[in-house]
Chains A and B, each alone.
Chain A
Amino acid sequence: MSRKRNAETDHFDLLPFVAILMSTLGCLLFITLSIASLNLTVPTVRLAPTGESKTPLLIDWRKGVSTVSHNNVRTVIPWNDAQWSELDNITVSNAGKVELPSKLNAALNNISSDPQHNYALFAVHPSGFAAFSAMHAICQQRNIDVGYYPVGEKDKVKLEEASIKGTK
């Protein structure tokens, strides 16, 4: 009689353990999948030097906002729609008339102060395609060399470490 009672009391129920295990792993899976999807949807485009003697100043170019990266400092420069529509119709001849946001103007002045060693490197996002020809004309009018590369709308853009020395 006592033996039978001991066998009943020693019984170990696995169900709560499995439930806790499954819940924990379920949460971990959810977190892992979220991180994976975030990483997969925002790829990084890294621009690497090719032996050019000039130092690039990276300008992330999209509609409504451009971001200038200089000496590891990122300056976000917003635009308004009126400025964009004005920029749409400019050519190299009349590019000088366009009034740029002061911070972007300062960045271009920094490049044009030593055009032999500096140039503007644009990462052009699809939303910035339409207005880029205006920016290109402004750079040519100021005798600034340019390079430009198409990147996805959500892509992050980085320069290789060796090139981030700041403009000379």
Chain B
Amino acid sequence: MPLADMLTNTVGVMMFILVFTVLSAAGAVVTHAFPLEQPSDKTKILAVCTAHKVIWLSLDELEQEARNSSGILQADKMDLWARQYSKLHFEKNGFSIQGHVQFANGDIPKEAEIEISALHGAGEDETKIASEHSSFRSKLQSVSPQKAFIYFFVYPNSEPVFEKAKAIAENANFQTGWYPMGETENITDVTYSPVTSEQGLKIGPQN
């Protein structure tokens, strides 16, 4: 008889805990503010969220490195420059860079761009960015929220680290925006285009 009492009481307590868990789980709702993208005159500071990590992306530095590697574009040696640019490949700041050139007629380059992909293992994960001395926080401290906003390129399955980084940036009074990237999609930066034929996307902060 005492065994039955103990058994019944134990299972009863377990049931209570589980019912409580179910009721709590049913109400597990994450609330976010309505996002609305708006144009901004502020400088765009880029970051990439990929493979559960965040990496700062400085296009200026990568473009400069690309210019240094491919040489200066000269009107009478465009074909030579284009061939050199097509072979461009280097690694910098946690990214792998590949040069591409599209030709209009023969050897005349129509557009040159760099394709940017994150190196394996580069960047800081959720735990690291939360720490006081992370490079993510250091960069935030080096720019003014009045002059810049933070823009994230987010790859699938890196939403948790994006949420964390976004929260840190917003706590530091920065406006934030983001853009969804396809799993195999690379970031491209047009570095040379004599004719602006296509209207690009207007992107901005969403808070």
- What residues of chain A have their CB less than 8 Å away from a CB belonging to chain B? 14, 17-18, 21-22, 25, 28-29, 32-33, 35-36, 39-40, 43-50, 52, 54, 56, 91-94, 119, 121, 124, 126-133, 136-137, 140, 145-152, 160, 163
Number of interface residues of B (CB under 8 A): 45
**Which of A18, A25, A147, A149 is close to B4, meaning CB atoms less than 8 Å apart?**
A18
Contact at B32–A49, with CB atoms within 8 Å? no
**Which of B18, B37, B157 is close to A29, meaning CB atoms less than 8 Å apart?**
B18
Q: How far is the CB of B202 from chain A (nearest CB, A)?
A: 6
A150 CA to B206 CA, complexed, in Å: 12
Contact at A147–B162, with CB atoms within 8 Å? no
Residues of A within 8 A of B4 (CB): 14, 17-18, 21
Chain A residue nearest to B19 in the complex (CB): A32
Chain B residue nearest to A36 in the complex (CB): B22
- What residues of chain B have their CB less than 8 Å away from a CB belonging to chain A? 1, 3-4, 7-8, 11, 14-15, 18-19, 21-22, 25-26, 28-37, 154-157, 159, 162, 178-183, 185, 197-202, 206-207
Sample of 10 further A-B pairs with CB below 8 A, known A148-B37, A150-B180, A152-B159: A18-B3, A32-B22, A46-B31, A49-B34, A54-B36, A91-B199, A91-B200, A92-B198, A146-B36, A148-B178
Contact at A47–B181, with CB atoms within 8 Å? no
Contact at A129–B180, with CB atoms within 8 Å? yes
List 8 A-B residue pairs with CB atoms under 8 Å apart, sorted by A's residue number: A17-B4, A28-B15, A29-B14, A36-B22, A39-B26, A44-B29, A93-B198, A121-B35
Chain B residue nearest to A44 in the complex (CB): B29
Contact at B34–A50, with CB atoms within 8 Å? yes
Q: How far is the CB of B160 from chain A (nearest CB, A)?
A: 9
Q: How far is the CB of B25 from chain A (nearest CB, A)?
A: 4
A151 CA to B29 CA, complexed, in Å: 12
Contact at A150–B154, with CB atoms within 8 Å? yes
A47 CA to B185 CA, complexed, in Å: 28
A18 CA to B198 CA, complexed, in Å: 77
